[in-house]
Every structure is written in C-alpha cells, then in structure tokens.
C-alpha cells in the first residue's frame, strides 16, 4: 500500500557534504600533511600502504567515499576546513585573563610502548594526531556575536516560553508567535488599550536560536508589579542586559526546553536539522501548546468571510434544484448506457450459449462482458483506499492526559509543517496553522518524527489516520524551483537538417482507404496500456518522517498509492 522511499525523492535529503569538501580541495588551505595522500583511497589505510606513500592525490578517492554512503570515516581536510571557520572570542578580550582560544590538549595514549617500526607507522601516528587536533580545535568555538546583532528574550518560572524583548535579524520572520494579553487593571486606568501582544517562542525555537548564538535568554524570577515599575525584566542600556536577570547558558537551555511540550530530542534535532538548511518549520496546529492558541480577547472578524464553506465546514453547501440539473442529465445517460450494455451483454451471452458452464465455479452469477468485470467478480477483498479498514481500538480519551499523548499511539502523526526556503511564508498569513492559513500557505511537507530503535514501522491504521489528514499531493509535473534547477543557458543549436526527413508523410491514397476499412497495417502493434509510473511512485497522499537514531537524523517518505486507481486493464 504505502511505498517508503529513500529520502532522495523526498527533497530534504541528507547533505552530501560536497560543498565544504570541494572548498577544501580548491583552496588548499589545509595544512600540508601526509593525510592529503589518503583520500579514502583504500578501504583500510593500514594495509594499503601504497596510498600513504608520497604519490599525488588519486582522483578516484572521492568516488570511493561516495560509494561508502554516509560519512563513516571523516576526512582530515574536511574537518580542518570547518575548524578554520569556527568562531572564537575576539582577541581584544585577552585583557580579562580570558584566553580567546583555549588550547586543547590531545591526550596521547600508549606513548611508552610506542615503537617506530617503520616510517609508515610514524606517518600514520602523525596523521591521526593531526586529525584529532583538527577535530577538537573545531569544537572550541564560542557562541555569540556582535552585541548589535544579538536578540534578547526573558524567561520566568511562570512563563517558560521566552518573551522577546529585542528582535534582530530575519530569522524572526519565521520564528516566534505573537500572543495577545489583556492589559492589567492599572494600565487600563492609565488609558492604555484593552490588549497588547508580544512575541513568545516555542521551546524548539528558543533552543535553536540559543544554541545558534543568535539569542540571549535572560532568566529571572517572577516579577511583582513593583519590580516591573522599576524596570525589572526589561532591557537596560546601563546594565548591558536585562535588569534583575541572568543569562541562560546553552546547557540550561537544553535542560529546560527538551522534554517540554512534546519536544523530545528527536523532534528538536529534526527541527534544528531543517532550520540549519534554511527551511521554514512550524508545528502542526494540533501540537502547538494551548498557551499560544489561547486568545483572551477574541477580536471580531476583520474581513467578511470569503468562503462560507471553509468557515463552517459542518454546514451543508447551499443547493437549489437547478444546480442538480447537470447531475440528472449525466445520470440519465448512465442509465441509458447501462441498459444498452445489458442488452448487448445478454445478446452476446446467448451467443456463448448461456452461462451454465460457470455453474459451480467462482464465476457463477457473473454478468459482464469485459475482463475487468471478471476480475471484479472474482475479488473477495475490496480494494482501494476508500474502503474502510478493519477497526482497531482507538485510545481511550481519558488516557490522553496531554495533547502530546496521542503520539504514544501514533508516533508518525505529523508534528511539523515544513516549507521550502523558496516557498512563500509569512507568520501572519500562516495564522498559527489554522485551516485558512494552511490553504493560503500550503506547507511543502508534513513531517512526523520517530525514534528509530524502538518505533516499529507504522501499521496500516496509523498510516490511514495520517493520510486522512494530509492534503492531496500536487498533480502534474514537479515544479522545480530553486538554484539547483537553474541551468546555464545553452547556445542555440543549429536546426538539424535530418529532422525534416523524420516528419510523418501524409498517408498515401491506398493507406487511407485501408485505414478507413480498418485493415491498416499500422494498427498491428498491440498498444500497451498506459501506466503513469511516476504518479504511482509518488502516490496521491504523502508525508515524510524524520527517523532519528541516537541523534542521527534520516528522512523517509511514506506515500499512498493504490493499483486500483491505476489499473492498466
């Protein structure tokens, strides 16, 4: 029924690391080391000594690595290219006794019984040492940035959703949700408006920005009115920070946000994975915490309802009798057609000397005139996705304490909506994932997140539950948007003179007559039934799943396609 496909089809595939690798090759700024000679040439450098000898770099090295699949063994030049790019503290802060670059001591093991047997062993040791240095020097980077580009938020024990105080940068075009609050009594007396709104962050958004070094979250105790009047909990230029608060560390951030509101490690890592690639990611409406959906001041609808059907989906659409006219006419034709076919069938059966010879076989009672009708008659189990599935007990509503408990019953339920970077998106238009918001800004992917070691493959009921909520896949050819599809313009090819010969000649007089008589030789080739293979492969409904193995995220796509809809006979 469903066709799990490797992620190559699904779009957000695992990055192949081609860019940094190539950059390292081209620039050649990695320190010259013997490691350059060992580009994954042989499977095992220990036995493949020829690779270590000072030969020029093999060209086949990279291909070998590609075949190997995932980056199972890291290339020193790749690591070095990243180590060169990481962010350190600027040297000016040396004055406070803080070293800008902490030197990592690479522990050496077994130096006592180190015995240089030959030059190669020596070389290998050196290579390894260099790789380790590169690896751990790439880890000493410091999060942060210029004070003018850092955003600030505050978190208090009573509101674990960081409230934005200062917003910098375009990341916030797709991150954070605005919440309306009623103004307090005191402020109302001062003549302020009835409500105010502020931007707050979901746990994954806060954590992503924090560990990216773009957001400083300030922790503070819950503030009394008195403290608020004194400016506590607000940004203070004199204090270079939020008054009465202390900076939250990234470690604290992980402890605080992971495990909150259904944000497991796996879901956070899937979120961060897509965000790092530039996708827009939002939770599906069902999994947005109530805190964000609660509106204390329901504002009156600003614009007249455009589509009454969408606003009141429970209501029957407005109908008058004349709207049914086409339907009646079509029904009439169907009725006539069926009768005609029945008559024809009866006549042909008479020709076949009645159906008595099917007596006692599975075909008994078959009244048809085509192969399709035979197959339909023989079918015991109904086919097609419109048929109801055998019923499985659904979870008792009282067992679902929070809105995230449903994920225990069906972990594949889409948790995130994902938009391609090129897809249009505005937070206002998206409208916290409301029905109209998703219609105006349809997500590119619906994504579930599962843990790979303990989660079994979905049951047909679980899949059906999801396919019932996801929209139809877009029909027609795939829209290719993005820089990877832009081809360099080709010089116009000179018109091929041979083309003229290929043009079909008008049929000769004889052929035309033969065709009209139906005995043309052209029709000899049996026409194979047309099957739209890409459509079958793609399916009519689909969603993707981030499969997380101890922190390694892979992507799988589940599509629904039925052979009943694409019957070639």
474 binds other proteins, rule: CB under 8 A = no
11 binds other proteins, rule: CB under 8 A = no
- Rounded to whole angstroms, the Cα distance separating 100 from 86 reads 13
- Rounded to whole angstroms, the Cα distance separating 102 from 299 reads 55
Question: Residues 185-221, buried b or exposed e (16+ Cβ, 10 A)?
Answer: eeeeeeeeeeeeeebbbbbbbbbbbbbebbbbbbbbe
Residues 180-209, one symbol each (x = binds other proteins by CB under 8 A, - = not), give ----------------------------x-
- Rounded to whole angstroms, the Cα distance separating 202 from 363 reads 62
Nearest to 388 by CA among 309, 498, 492, 468: 468
Residues 416-455, one symbol each (x = binds other proteins by CB under 8 A, - = not), give ------------------------------------xx--
Q: Dihedral sign, CA of 105, 106, 108, 109?
A: positive
Residue 557 bridge partners (DSSP)? 5, 544
Torsion of CA 142, 148, 151, 153, to 10 degrees: 100
Taking CB under 8 A as the binding criterion, the range among 14-22, 442-450, 507-515, 517-525 that sits at the site for other proteins is: 14-22
Contact (CB, 8 A) for 545 and 556: yes
- Rounded to whole angstroms, the Cα distance separating 407 from 396 reads 13
Neighbour count for residue 270 (Cβ, 10 Å):
28
Residues 39-58, one symbol each (x = binds other proteins by CB under 8 A, - = not), give ----xxxx------------
221 binds other proteins, rule: CB under 8 A = yes
Neighbour count for residue 447 (Cβ, 10 Å):
27
141 binds other proteins, rule: CB under 8 A = yes
Q: How far is the CB of 210 from other proteins (least distance, A)?
A: 7
Q: How far is the CB of 489 from other proteins (least distance, A)?
A: 29
Q: Which is nearer to other proteins, 147 or 361 (CB)?
A: 147
Question: Residues 360-380, buried b or exposed e (16+ Cβ, 10 A)?
Answer: eeeeeeeeebeeeeeeeeeee
226 binds other proteins, rule: CB under 8 A = no
Which residues within the stretch 157-176 sit at the binding site for other proteins (CB under 8 A)?
157, 160, 165-171
Which residues within the stretch 252-311 sit at the binding site for other proteins (CB under 8 A)?
252, 254-256, 258-260, 264-265, 269, 272-273, 276-278
561 binds other proteins, rule: CB under 8 A = no
Q: How far is the CB of 412 from other proteins (least distance, A)?
A: 18
Contact (CB, 8 A) for 194 and 188: yes
363 binds other proteins, rule: CB under 8 A = no
Q: How far is the CB of 203 from other proteins (least distance, A)?
A: 11
Q: How far is the CB of 447 from other proteins (least distance, A)?
A: 15
401 binds other proteins, rule: CB under 8 A = no
475 binds other proteins, rule: CB under 8 A = no
71 binds other proteins, rule: CB under 8 A = yes
Interface with other proteins (CB under 8 A), residue from 1, 3, 23, 140: 140
CA 106 to each of CA 97, 127, 136, 218, 500: distance values in angstroms, whole numbers, following the listed order: 23, 13, 8, 35, 72
511 binds other proteins, rule: CB under 8 A = no
Q: Which is nearer to other proteins, 177 or 242 (CB)?
A: 242
Query: DSSP letters of 79-137?
Result: HHHHHTT-----GGGGGGT--SSPPPP----S-TT----SHHHHHHHHHHHHHHHHHHH
Q: How far is the CB of 440 from other proteins (least distance, A)?
A: 25
Residue 320 tokens, joined: 């008058």
Q: How far is the CB of 145 from other proteins (least distance, A)?
A: 5
Q: How far is the CB of 5 from other proteins (least distance, A)?
A: 17
- Rounded to whole angstroms, the Cα distance separating 81 from 28 reads 9
Interface with other proteins (CB under 8 A), residue from 124, 383, 436, 461: 124
Interface with other proteins (CB under 8 A), residue from 1, 3, 74, 363: 74
104 binds other proteins, rule: CB under 8 A = yes
Q: Which is nearer to other proteins, 320 or 484 (CB)?
A: 484
Interface with other proteins (CB under 8 A), residue from 1, 7, 11, 17: 17
408 binds other proteins, rule: CB under 8 A = no
Neighbour count for residue 231 (Cβ, 10 Å):
14
Interface with other proteins (CB under 8 A), residue from 135, 374, 423, 470: 135
């Amino acid at each position: 029924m469903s066709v799990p496909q490797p992620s190559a089809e699904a779009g957000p595939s695992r990055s192949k690391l081609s860019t940094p690798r190539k950059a390292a090759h081209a620039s050649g700024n990695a320190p010259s080391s013997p490691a350059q000679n060992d580009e994954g040439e042989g499977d095992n450098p220990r036995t493949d000594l020829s690779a270590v000898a000072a030969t020029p770099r093999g060209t086949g090295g990279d291909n070998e690595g590609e075949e190997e699949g995932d980056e199972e063994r890291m290339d020193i030049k790749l690591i070095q290219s990243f180590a060169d790019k990481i962010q350190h503290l600027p040297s000016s802060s040396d004055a406070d006794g803080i070293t800008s670059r902490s030197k990592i001591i690479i522990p050496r093991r077994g130096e006592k019984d180190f015995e240089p047997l030959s030059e190669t062993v020596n070389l290998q040791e050196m290579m390894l040492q260099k790789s380790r240095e590169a690896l751990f020097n790439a880890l000493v980077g410091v999060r942060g940035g210029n004070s003018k580009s850092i955003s600030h938020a505050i978190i208090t024990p009573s509101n674990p959703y960081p409230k934005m105080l200062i917003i910098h940068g375009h990341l916030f075009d797709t991150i954070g949700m605005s919440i309306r609050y009623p103004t307090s009594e005191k402020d109302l007396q001062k003549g302020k408006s009835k409500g105010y709104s502020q931007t707050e962050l979901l746990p994954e958004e806060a954590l992503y920005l924090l560990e990216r070094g773009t957001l400083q979250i300030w922790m503070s105790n819950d503030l009394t009115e008195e403290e608020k009047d004194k400016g506590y909990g607000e940004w203070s230029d004199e204090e270079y920070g939020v008054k009465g608060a202390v900076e939250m560390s990234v470690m604290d951030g992980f402890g605080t946000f992971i495990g909150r509101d259904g944000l497991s490690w796996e879901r956070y890592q899937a979120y961060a994975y897509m965000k790092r690639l530039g996708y827009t990611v939002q939770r599906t409406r069902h999994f947005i915490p109530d805190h964000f959906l609660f509106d204390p001041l329901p504002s009156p609808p600003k614009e007249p309802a455009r589509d009454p059907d969408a606003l009141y989906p429970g209501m029957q659409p407005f109908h008058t009798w004349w709207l049914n006219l086409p339907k009646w006419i079509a029904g009439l034709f169907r009725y006539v057609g069926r009768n005609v076919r029945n008559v024809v069938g009866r006549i042909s059966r008479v020709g076949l000397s009645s159906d008595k010879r099917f007596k006692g076989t599975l075909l008994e009672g078959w009244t048809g005139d085509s192969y399709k009708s035979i197959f339909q008659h023989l079918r015991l189990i109904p086919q097609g996705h419109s048929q109801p599935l055998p019923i499985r007990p659904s979870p008792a509503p009282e067992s679902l304490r929070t809105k995230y408990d449903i994920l225990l019953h069906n972990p594949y339920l889409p948790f995130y909506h994902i938009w391609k970077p090129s897809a249009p998106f505005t937070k206002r238009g998206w409208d916290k994932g409301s029905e109209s918001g998703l219609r105006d800004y349809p997500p590119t992917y619906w994504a579930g997140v599962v843990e790979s070691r303990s989660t079994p493959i979905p049951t047909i009921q679980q899949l059906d539950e999801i396919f019932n909520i996801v929209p139809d896949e877009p029909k027609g050819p795939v829209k290719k948007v993005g820089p990877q599809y832009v081809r360099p313009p080709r010089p116009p090819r000179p018109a091929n003179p041979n083309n003229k010969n290929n043009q079909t000649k008008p049929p000769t007089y004889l052929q035309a007559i033969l065709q009209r008589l139906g005995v043309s030789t052209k029709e000899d080739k049996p026409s194979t039934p047309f099957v739209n293979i890409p459509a079958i492969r793609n399916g009519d409904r689909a969603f993707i799943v981030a499969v997380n193995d101890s922190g390694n995220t892979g992507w799988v796509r589940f599509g629904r396609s039925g052979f009943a809809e694409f019957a070639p006979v």
